[in-house]
């Protein structure tokens, strides 16, 4: 992604203003992804087929219980997803063969539908048949914790998160496979996430030059002479004081 | 997106501009959804762009 890294103080002021606005609007602090090095969240939910599913960590060991079956896995993969989200569905399908292969190596995979309705989650499980449980997670603690995004986390046998990512991109499967291979072998995970670039507070606004979704005419947003400049799909130019830009899977 | 629309309506005259970059693999579906949600802020079609990588 092309980024302007020069010191654009006005744009930074705008981003700070934006941060205050967004922070004020959010009632509950929420994460966009798992934190590498943190304990895996405790989970106690029902699956789409009515079984209870639990993930808990005690005395340095992670335990997964699905129905009456209790497992101490070598790794746990947790995928928080929204049933009607195209990227989540693609990620679930990418995860399916890996989950089947690693199940034989004591790796447990769990999908958690943290948005949408139970019917959406059941329809997803029926349609895509991932081969691992999908839990109904709406309004749960883990849904509140990760309300800021759809994320995938991999924890080791001690229940510590060793790999985390937000979103999904082609090639991520290779990273999951590598992390799982390492965890099953009792080795440290060499690569704990993707290389996708992230914006942080203090970064300059990325230049965006893309067509309008509505009419395919070009639009642009960037910084010119220290000021934000937006050109809409009718060619009209404006200089906003601040912007909120949001990447949507829709 | 509903909340962003509210932000857009409330703060636009103060100089706040809301944008969405849609990464939906099928832009036609994204167009339908934004019409249903009555979103009036600018929406970039970012599918397939470098921004998604």
d(CA A13, CA A221): 17
**Apex B30 CA angle, B29 and B34, nearest 5:** 120
Q: Mean pLDDT, to the nearest integer, of A158-181? A: 93
pLDDT of the residue at A175: 96
Q: Of A230, A222, A5, A219, which is closest to residue B46 (Cα–Cα)?
A: A219
pLDDT of the residue at B36: 85
Whole-angstrom Cα Rg for chain B: 12
Which has the minimum average pLDDT: A1-5, A207-211, A229-233? Answer: A1-5
pLDDT of the residue at A146: 86
Structure tokens at A223: 């910084």
Most confident of A13-17, A83-87, A156-160, A236-240: A156-160
Structure tokens at B51: 């921004």
Report strand pairing: A151-156 vs A134-136. Answer: unpaired
With beta carbons less than 8 A apart as the criterion, state whether A209 and A220 touch.
yes
The burial of B3, by beta-carbon neighbours within 10 Å (0-12 exposed, 13-18 middle, 19 or more buried), is given as exposed
For residue B53, pLDDT beyond 80: no
Confidence bin at B52 (pLDDT 50/70/90): low
Q: What residues contact residue B8 under an 8 Å CB cut-off, 6+ apart?
A: B16, B18, B40, B41
How far does A77 lie from chain B, in Å, by closest CA? 23
Structure tokens at A74: 């070598």
Summarize pLDDT for B5-51 with one digit per residue, the tens.
888 899 989 999 898 888 887 888 888 888 888 889 999 998 888 77
Angle between helices A9-25 and B2-11 (to 10 degrees): 120
For residue A81, pLDDT beyond 50: yes
At residue A72, what are phi and psi to the nearest 5 degrees?
A: -110, 90
Summarize pLDDT for A176-226 with one digit per residue, the tens.
999 999 999 999 999 999 987 777 788 887 889 999 999 999 999 988 988
Pick the residue from chain B with its C-alpha nearest to A218.
B44
Q: Is A159 left (phi over 0), alpha (psi -120 to 50) or beta?
A: left
Report ipTM (2 d.p.). 0.91
pLDDT of the residue at A27: 46
Chain B residue numbers touching A27 (CB-CB < 8 A)? none
Q: Which of residues A42 and B4 earns the better pLDDT score? A: A42
Q: Of A143, A21, A45, which is closest to residue B11 (Cα–Cα)?
A: A21
H helix intervals, chain B: 2-11, 27-36
Measured CB to CB, residues of chain A less than 8 Å from chain B are 1-2, 21, 25, 86-87, 169, 196, 206, 208, 210-214, 216, 219, 221, 228, 230, 232-233, 238, 240-250
The burial of A226, by beta-carbon neighbours within 10 Å (0-12 exposed, 13-18 middle, 19 or more buried), is given as exposed
Report strand pairing: A218-224 vs A208-211. Answer: antiparallel
Pick the residue from chain B with its C-alpha nearest to A90.
B25
Summarize pLDDT for A6-50 with one digit per residue, the tens.
333 344 444 444 444 444 444 446 777 899 999 999 999 999 999
Mutation target among A30, A205, A248 for the B interface, most CBs of B within 10 A: A248
pLDDT of the residue at A1: 36
Helix (H) / strand (E) containing A184 = helix A172-184
The residue behind tokens 């060499």 is A190
């Amino acid at each position: 992604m092309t980024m302007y890294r020069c010191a654009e103080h006005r744009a930074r002021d705008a981003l700070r203003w934006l941060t205050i606005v967004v922070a004020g609007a959010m009632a509950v602090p929420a994460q966009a992804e798992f934190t590498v090095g943190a304990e895996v969240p405790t989970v106690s939910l029902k699956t789409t087929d009515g079984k209870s599913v639990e993930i808990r960590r005690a005395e340095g060991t992670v335990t997964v219980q699905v129905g009456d079956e209790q497992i101490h896995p070598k790794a746990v993969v947790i995928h928080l997803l929204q049933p009607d989200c195209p990227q989540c569905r693609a990620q679930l399908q990418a995860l399916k063969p890996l989950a089947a292969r690693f199940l034989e190596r004591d790796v447990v995979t769990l999908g958690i539908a943290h948005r949408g309705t139970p019917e959406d989650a059941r329809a997803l499980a029926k349609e895509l048949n991932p081969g691992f449980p999908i839990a109904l997670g709406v309004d749960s603690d883990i849904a509140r914790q990760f309300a800021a995004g759809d994320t995938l986390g991999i924890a080791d046998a001690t229940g510590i998160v060793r790999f985390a990512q937000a979103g999904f991109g082609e090639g991520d499967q290779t990273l999951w496979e590598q992390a799982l291979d390492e965890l099953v072998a009792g080795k440290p995970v060499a690569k704990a996430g993707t290389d996708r670039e992230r914006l942080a507070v203090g970064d300059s606004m990325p230049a965006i030059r893309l067509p309008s979704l509505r009419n395919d005419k070009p639009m642009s947003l960037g910084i010119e002479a220290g000021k934000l400049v937006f050109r809409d799909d009718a060619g009209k130019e404006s200089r906003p004081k601040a912007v909120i830009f949001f990447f949507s899977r829709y | 997106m509903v909340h962003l629309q509210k932000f857009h309506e409330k703060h636009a005259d103060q100089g706040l501009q809301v944008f969405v970059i849609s990464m939906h693999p099928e832009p036609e579906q994204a167009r339908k959804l934004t019409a249903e949600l009555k979103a009036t802020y600018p929406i970039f079609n970012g599918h397939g762009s470098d921004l998604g990588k």
